[in-house]
Amino acid sequence: MSKGTLRLIGLLYVLVIVCAGFSQGYVRANLVVPGDASATASNILGSEGLFRLGLAADLLAFIMDAVISVLFYQLLKPFGKILAMTSSALRLLAHPAIGSLNLLNHYLALYVLGGSGLLASFEAGQLESLSLLFMHAHQYGYLIAGAFFGVHCFLLGILLYRSQVVPPFFAWMMGLAAIGYLMESFGNFLFPGNETWLAWVVGLSAALGEVELALFLLIKGDRRWASREPKAALA
């Protein structure tokens, strides 16, 4: 695969991180007030344009992630075709599939606040509670997608180590990112009440794994760092 293609993966990956980080780390983090339906509804209606922009940024990120999945498969299939196919399939399921469908919850949180049509019989407080419920549903949909993505990161780390497209350090960091995603997803479902520190864990591990990998591919774009041939495929 050419240097240009590797840099394309890096560019798309950086854009995905920026778009998803904007939606999750800025839009929803600032507009959704946990446990306060009235304040959340007020924030959403007061910043409707920003709320819609967050949805659009997420959708754009998921479309680019589908392209990244295919490019990673093409890049890494010589080093384990079945493993590369499984890894890319899990990435496609995580965000382009589950994540995109989960955006319905994001949109419905705004839609119900309009109170039109079938919702006309609901009181304002009930609609606000419904809106916050949809945002909670979106949060847990995000966690479900994260479980698939965590396994993808683990397999991607193995493939990157075999291929030597990047230094082994980045492969190990993707393994660390995998642990972070899996800890957050399963931790929130199995041990509720630990959401805050688990969010910090996944944020840090993703920064060390995904962000560094994306920047390396974008800036370096080749494997001239390596002093030996890539490892042969095992499967």
| pLDDT confidence tier of residue 222, bands split at 50, 70 and 90 | low
Encode pLDDT of 42-89 as tens digits.
Answer: 999 999 999 999 999 999 999 999 999 999 999 999 999 999 999 999
Per-residue pLDDT, 66: 97
Where does the pLDDT of residue 3 fall: very low under 50, low under 70, confident under 90, or very high at 90 and above? confident
Which residues neighbour 182 within 8 Å (Cβ) at sequence distance 6 or greater?
146, 147, 150, 151
CB 48 within 8 A of CB 111: no
Residue identified by tokens 């493993």 is 83
> What's the pLDDT band for 115 if we cut at 50, 70, 90?
confident
pLDDT of residue 118: 77
- Give the whole-angstrom CA distance, residue 143 versus residue 151: 13
pLDDT band at 226; cut points 50, 70, 90: very low
Q: Which residues of 22-55 are buried (b: 16+ CB within 10 A; e: fewer)?
A: bbbeebbeebbeeeebeebbebbeeeeeebeebb
**Cα angle 139, 145, 149; round to 5:** 135
Per the listing, tokens 């397999």 go with 155
Helices (H), the chain: 3-21, 29-31, 37-46, 48-76, 81-92, 100-111, 124-163, 168-190, 195-206, 212-219
pTM: 0.90
